[in-house]
Amino acid sequence: MPVRSKVKKADVKKTLFTIQFPTLDEYVVLKKRITTPVYPKDAASIVSLLDLHPHARVLDAGTGNGSLTLYLARALHPSGHVHSVDKSALHLSHAKHNVERFARGLYLPTISFSHGKLSSVLNSLPSDAPLYDGAALDMPTPWSELESVFKRLKNDKYVVCYLPNITQVLECMKEIERKGLAFAVEQVLEINWRPWDIKRTVIRGSMRDSTDEKLVDKPWLRTSEHGENGSSEKSVENNDSSANVGEEEEVKHEQCQNVVKEGNAEYEENGDLEVATPRDPENAAQESQAASVVSDARAWICRPGHPPTEHTAFLLQLRKKEYSPDNIIELETPNKQNRFLILQ
């Protein structure tokens, strides 16, 4: 079926759906998975923290479903390269399938897959193999592979570790101290997205506050009262006498279906209020006046979406800072109170 075709779902009447290619975010979240994916908010942040550029060569350790692999490949396509490593043959096979199925395999030429333990794969590379411009580690124990990654990383480039809990962050930092690795801890981040709902609403209180005089001589609108134990509620409804009026004589105004209470105001959300046009053309002015009752009550409601985005992981950004005494230039300020070291 062609893209942008309109289709109907059998169990949903009068609703048209448009067929579109999925975005990468949708593909990662909705595709069948065998491991927990790196979610879009984290994957986009990792790409940014690695400070990638065209023609870069990036290591992706822990392929999993291939979600982060796709984000890296999209950032580097077509001139860069992603080397993805996983010790699970099942994960690699599943990731390859996901890469092939997204955008008709657009990013597949940008990626190479290797099976095995990360340190073994890196040690088996030719001695003249180019160093990596960045590395992303999505592994249960990334600290055990930091030394191997350090040797294959260009100086002044970044490693980003994807760590579900803060204990793993501490283990990485302890391992850096224990091994004396020249990694600078740039930052530790927790990425949270807070979605918001922005909707057109009709304020019920404003409808009730409309005086009875505004509804006089408007046979197409009526006020009904109903309730139990003496309680009553007023609402604007379609006049039964207008049920047979043709569709061309109906004027639709946006209204609410679900009631939301905020403070002392009540809102109804996103539905349709049908106001039938009076049969007598002379009542056009009255119709306009009645429509203004609804129009005056329209407003906007803005609130955080529910539920909020939950914690997924911490991102530990490391920077390789390896230098020798020959790379240091010592500078002094004119008053000789401050001294600076510049690393070349």
Over the stretch 137-195, which tens digit does the pLDDT of each residue have? Answer: 999 999 999 999 999 999 999 999 999 999 999 999 999 999 999 999 999 999 988 88
Task: Find the helix or strand (DSSP H, E) in which 209 lies.
Answer: helix 204-209
Same domain, 161 and 223: no
Euclidean distance between CA atoms 271 and 259, whole angstroms: 11
Same domain, 159 and 223: no
Per the model's pLDDT, the better-predicted residue between 56 and 209 turns out to be 56
Same domain, 134 and 250: no
Same domain, 31 and 100: yes
Same domain, 118 and 34: yes
Same domain, 28 and 161: yes
**With contact defined as beta carbons under 8 Å apart, do 209 and 264 qualify?**
no
Q: Which of 32-46, 63-77, 207-221 has the lowest mean pLDDT?
A: 207-221
Same domain, 316 and 287: no
Question: How far, rounded to the nearest angstrom, does the alpha carbon of residue 309 sit from its chain's CA centroid?
Answer: 9
Same domain, 45 and 86: yes
Sheet containing 196-203: order of strands = 250-262, 265-276, 196-203, 298-304
Same domain, 115 and 14: yes
Q: Quick one: which of 276, 219, 272 has its CA closest to 247?
A: 276
Euclidean distance between CA atoms 47 and 188, whole angstroms: 15
Domain that holds residue 11: 6-194+310-322
> Does residue 343 sit within a domain?
no
- pTM as predicted: 0.69
Same domain, 176 and 262: no
Q: Does 75 score more than 80 pLDDT?
A: yes
Same domain, 40 and 128: yes
Return the pLDDT at 264: 41
Question: How far, rounded to the nearest angstrom, does the alpha carbon of residue 115 sit from its chain's CA centroid?
Answer: 30
Return the pLDDT at 42: 96
What rounded mean pLDDT belongs to the chain?
Answer: 78
The mean per-residue pLDDT over the stretch 65-93 comes to: 97
> Does residue 227 sit within a domain?
yes
**With contact defined as beta carbons under 8 Å apart, do 16 and 8 qualify?**
yes
**With contact defined as beta carbons under 8 Å apart, do 16 and 6 qualify?**
yes
Return the pLDDT at 70: 98
In this structure, what token pair is assigned to residue 81?
Answer: 């390269």
> Does residue 332 sit within a domain?
no
Q: What is the DSSP string of 16-79?
A: EEE--PPPHHHHHHHS--SS----HHHHHHHHHHTT--TT-EEEEE--TTSHHHHHHHHHHTTT
Same domain, 190 and 214: no
